[in-house]
Amino acid sequence: MEKAFKNLVKSNFPFLSTGKILVAVSGGVDSVVLAHLCKNAKINFSIAHCNFNLRGEESDGDEAFLLDLADALDVEVFTESFDTSAYAKDAGISIQMAARELRYNWFHQLSAALHFDYILTAHHINDDLETFLINFIRGTGLEGLTGIKTENEKVVRPLMNFSRKEIEAFALENKIQWREDSSNASSKYLRNKIRLEIIPLMEEINPQLLNAFTQTQSHLKESYDLMEDYIGLLYSEIVSKDVYGYRLKIEVLEKIPNTRAVLYQLLKTFGFTEWNDVYDLLQAQTGKMVYSGTHRLIKDRDYLILTETPSENTRKDFLIPEGEEIVMLPLGKLSFESVDKIGETGPHIAYVAKDKLVFPLILRKWQKGDQFHPFGMKGKKKISDLFKDNKLSLPEKEESWLLCSSNEIVWVVNQRADGRFAVTDSSPDILKITYSL
């Protein structure tokens, strides 16, 4: 195995020979063997060990063992102690998830602070098989069956082509000491039940289970890649991005086969759960919406519009004192300028008789019942009707600003000015207000 490892480093991971490496070592056989293999391959590495304080004296014994190991290998060692149970309770996650989060957070902190180029973990093919089965038993999709995701480009798993059996054989052959995790001996954890009960039964049926699994994984990854290529292709035909979010073109979605599956792939990272409702939006009336925890999908004529669900934060009003020159908005900005006469015009510019204004001006979002006196028109008009005339989508309505003087609307920004504040021949001061992105 030592030779195989050296060849592997040479051919697949040449950067390990030149970089500064951090090896994660729990004290179990896999990671201890990894440390020995790194030493034999003359890799420049340090050891990082987490004490999760989950098994009392045994955890402390692991830590002591690690200090001895580092001493014997003559490498630097970092240890850190965590109150894993408390962290899990606070975060409302499982102990195993908590340990995972704590471990990787600390590894990344260490490697940032001390300039490690790569973090090595001792994951091997059996870990992948166990993850496959855990995900399968819980219910999953193709993504969940294609194996452990590498956290980060910095994390390298050089033992991925070795089996637990090979690793243990190497340890015994070379009289390498390691620490048995007492939780390994019981079926206390899900992973152990799979490792100690289910996988051995599968190996009775096929002694070459790990090879078969490696093949299966590689086939599934190929299929997943092809599906991703296809979704990438469709993405460019279906999705466009604007300042409000993403627009999905319904015409294209309805033309392709397996629309439901495509919608799922396009939207899977946005937290939706009611996929039937999402699919039904295609046929729904304009204005219908489906919410996820963070996002909304809105039917708007020929499109589905995906935006973040607006937070209270984005709805706060701006107060604009006299003399203010620029107001930055979440999207774009307003500039205020005193001018002598009316020049360039357009919906993005308003000229206002300054003496008619009450400062500070108020810049706020639309509310139900808002009305104004459109410039050039007799009488009042509902803002909602103006929006309708302009065919605004819901996110566009939500992002529309009303510039107000006291409780009167001066300008529906970027759309229409109010006649009551229009400049006349007798206006002493003209304020030019410009909206730009």
Give the residues lining the site for its own copies (CB under 8 A): 136-142, 145, 190, 193-194, 197-198, 201-202, 204-206, 208-209, 211-213, 215-216, 219-220, 222-227, 229-231, 233, 256-258, 260-262, 264-265
- Which amino acid is it at 188? K
Nearest approach in angstroms of CB 372 to its own copies is: 49
> Was 29 annotated as part of a binding site?
yes
Q: DSSP letter for 354, please.
A: G
SS3 150: coil
Q: Which is nearer to its own copies, 56 or 257 (by Cβ)?
A: 257
- Distance, in Å, from the CA atom of 297 to the CA atom of 289, rounded to the nearest integer, reads 6
Closest approach of its own copies to the CB of residue 200, in Å: 10
In this complex, which beta carbon is closest to its own copies, that of residue 109 or of residue 206?
A: 206
**19 annotated among ligand-binding-site residues:** no
What gap in Å lies between CA 244 and CA 398, rounded to an integer? Answer: 10
The least CB distance from residue 136 to its own copies, in Å, is 7
CA distances from 359 to 400, 406, 432 (A): 21, 8, 15
Q: What share of the chain is helix, strand, coil (3-state, %, to 5)?
A: 45, 20, 35
The separation between CA 218 and the C-alpha centre of its own chain, rounded to angstroms, equals 26
The separation between the first and the last C-alpha atoms of the chain, rounded to the nearest angstrom, is 61
Q: 385 among the known binding-site residues?
A: no
Nearer Cβ to its own copies, position 44 or 206?
Answer: 206
Determine which helix (DSSP H) or strand (DSSP E) holds 247, and give its type and residue range.
Answer: strand 245-249
CB 63 within 8 A of CB 69: no
Structure tokens at 376: 């050039």
- The residue (of 129 and 386) whose beta carbon lies closer to its own copies is 129
| Closest to its own copies by CB, 193 or 397 | 193
Residue 200's contacts (CB-CB under 8 Å, 6 or more residues apart) are none
Nearer to its own copies, 257 or 428 (CB): 257
Provide, rounded to whole angstroms, the least separation between the CB of residue 315 and its own copies: 38
Q: Does 26 count as an annotated binding residue?
A: yes
Name which of 59 and 265 has its Cβ closer to its own copies. Answer: 265
Please report how close the Cβ of residue 144 comes to its own copies at its closest, in angstroms. Answer: 8
Backbone φ, ψ for residue 45 (5° rounding): -135, 160
For its own copies, give the closer residue by CB, 198 or 284.
198
Residue 148 DSSP one-character state = P
The answer to whether 155 is annotated as binding is no
Separation of alpha carbons 291 and 377, rounded Å: 39
Shortest Cβ distance from residue 212 to its own copies (Å)? Answer: 3
Non-local CB neighbours of 358 within 8 Å, separated by 6+ positions: 405, 406
30 annotated ligand-binding residue: yes
Q: Which token pair is 195? A: 């490792």
The CB-of-15 to its own copies minimum distance in angstroms stands at: 24
Q: Which residues contact 158 (CB under 8 A, 6 or more apart)?
A: 5, 8, 9, 12, 13, 16, 34, 37, 120
Contact criterion met (CB below 8 Å) for 213 and 129: yes
Q: In whole angstroms, how close is the CB of 232 to its own copies at the nearest point?
A: 8
**Binding-site annotation, residues:** 26-31
**Binding-site annotation, residues for ATP:** 26-31
